[in-house]
């Protein structure tokens, strides 16, 4: 039972990271029907942005007070990259065949990885990420279950972010405008909604959540790398498809379910097909099964195909 609870916590931690990134995929898809495969690199930029903020602004202090500053620094970097991406790479292709922005996204993904390797000192290999007092350090123990402090931080970030996102979508004018644009952009434009501004807001919102995930992963692993966004982005995309791409609640649920599937499968599948080495395989097996048997995902998509 102890082992099960331990794996449950591990799965929820990893799943929370997937969920934070997956929301960015699903928000953008819900509004412009674009699968932004460069979103994983926005997550990576957030991690490196927070690290640079810690080195330059916080002067390598490890007090808890530096964490909000690191998060703001990472979020600013991610949002700037996401907005530039939307304005100069995706907006000109908005009415192009869907293959064009898809290939563009892959190209941007590779370009961002190479840019970090070229310009961030030491980024050709893993770069150490700082420990923060109160968030990292000695684990908590309840009975025989060991709880990492970063696990609690990651879960809290997901809960607060999901609640804030719900309030933003349901209570603010911009959030309601996002819903209107996702349902019918032409009618929304006739009603006076600035569609370009709403699409940019969707990219920015996804980038903020990706930056939060980048900070959480850096604290959890104690290092970041220029390639950390590739696999995380693919798994987050899997989570978005699992929950029903275009559905925000589905993306959160899909991320958590995918994390739990990975944790439980690597622990309880015996023999040569068990262990961490197979965790990535199980994630993509889930993606294939969902696409074959339930392409609309667990919660279905609330958007319609406008092609």
Tens digits of per-residue pLDDT, 247-265?
Answer: 888 889 989 988 998 888 8
pLDDT in tens, 200-217: 999 999 999 999 999 999
The mean per-residue pLDDT over the stretch 83-104 comes to: 89
Residue 276 DSSP one-character state: G
Q: Is residue 307 part of a domain?
A: no
More confidently predicted of 26 and 75: 75
Q: Is residue 242 part of a domain?
A: yes
CA dist 58 and 75 (Å) reads 16
The mean per-residue pLDDT over the stretch 169-183 comes to: 90
Cα of 136 vs its chain's centroid, Å = 21
**pLDDT at 67 (0 to 100):** 93
Phi, psi of 111, rounded to the nearest 5 degrees: -60, -40
**pLDDT at 306 (0 to 100):** 47
The mean per-residue pLDDT over the stretch 13-31 comes to: 88
The mean per-residue pLDDT over the stretch 50-62 comes to: 87
Is the distance from CB of 81 to CB of 160 less than 8 angstroms?
A: no
The mean per-residue pLDDT over the stretch 81-92 comes to: 93
How many domains, in total, are found in the chain? 1
The mean per-residue pLDDT over the stretch 232-255 comes to: 87
Q: Is residue 272 part of a domain?
A: yes
**pLDDT more than 90, % of the chain:** 42
Q: Is residue 298 part of a domain?
A: no
Give the CATH number for residue 83: 1.10.3470
Is the distance from CB of 285 to CB of 271 less than 8 angstroms?
A: no
**pLDDT at 69 (0 to 100):** 94
Could you tell me the residue range of the domain that residue 145 belongs to?
1-293
pLDDT in tens, 275-301: 777 878 887 888 888 888 888 887 765
More confidently predicted of 221 and 246: 221
pLDDT band at 307; cut points 50, 70, 90: very low
Q: Is residue 304 part of a domain?
A: no
pLDDT in tens, 126-168: 999 999 888 888 888 888 888 888 989 999 999 999 899 889 9
Q: Is residue 284 part of a domain?
A: yes
- CA proximity to 75, closest of 45, 103, 54: 45
**pLDDT at 300 (0 to 100):** 67
The mean per-residue pLDDT over the stretch 183-200 comes to: 90
Q: Is 128 helix (H, G, I), strand (E, B) or coil?
A: strand
pTM beyond 0.75, yes or no = yes
Q: Is residue 305 part of a domain?
A: no
CA geometry: angle at 44 spanning 158 and 58, to 5°? 80
């Amino acid at each position: 039972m102890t082992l099960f609870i331990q794996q449950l916590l591990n799965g929820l931690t990893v799943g929370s990271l997937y969920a934070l990134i997956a929301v960015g995929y699903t928000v953008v898809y819900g509004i412009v029907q674009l699968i932004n495969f460069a979103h994983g690199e926005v997550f990576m930029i957030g991690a490196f942005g927070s690290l640079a903020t810690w080195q330059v602004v916080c002067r390598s202090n490890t007090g808890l007070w530096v964490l909000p500053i690191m998060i703001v620094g990472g979020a600013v970097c991610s949002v700037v990259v996401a907005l530039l991406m939307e304005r100069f790479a995706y907006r000109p292709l908005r009415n192009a065949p869907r293959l064009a922005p898809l290939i563009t996204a892959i190209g941007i993904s590779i370009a961002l990885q190479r840019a970090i390797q070229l310009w961030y000192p030491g980024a050709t290999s893993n770069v150490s990420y700082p420990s923060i007092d109160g968030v990292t350090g000695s684990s908590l123990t309840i009975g025989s279950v060991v709880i990492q402090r970063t696990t609690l931080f990651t879960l809290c970030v997901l809960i607060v972010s999901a609640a804030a996102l719900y309030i933003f979508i349901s209570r603010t004018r911009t959030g309601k405008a996002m819903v209107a644009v996702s349902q019918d952009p032409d009618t929304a434009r006739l009603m006076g909604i600035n569609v370009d501004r709403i699409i940019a807001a969707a990219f920015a919102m996804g980038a903020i959540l990706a930056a939060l995930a980048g900070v959480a992963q850096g604290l959890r692993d104690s290092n970041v790398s220029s390639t950390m966004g590739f696999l995380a982005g693919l798994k987050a995309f899997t989570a978005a498809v699992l929950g029903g791409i275009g559905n925000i609640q589905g993306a959160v649920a899909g991320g958590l379910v995918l994390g739990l599937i990975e944790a439980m499968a690597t622990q309880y599948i015996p023999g040569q097909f068990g262990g961490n080495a197979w965790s990535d395989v199980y994630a993509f097996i889930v993606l294939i099964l969902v696409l074959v048997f339930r392409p609309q995902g667990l919660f279905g998509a609330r958007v319609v195909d406008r092609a």
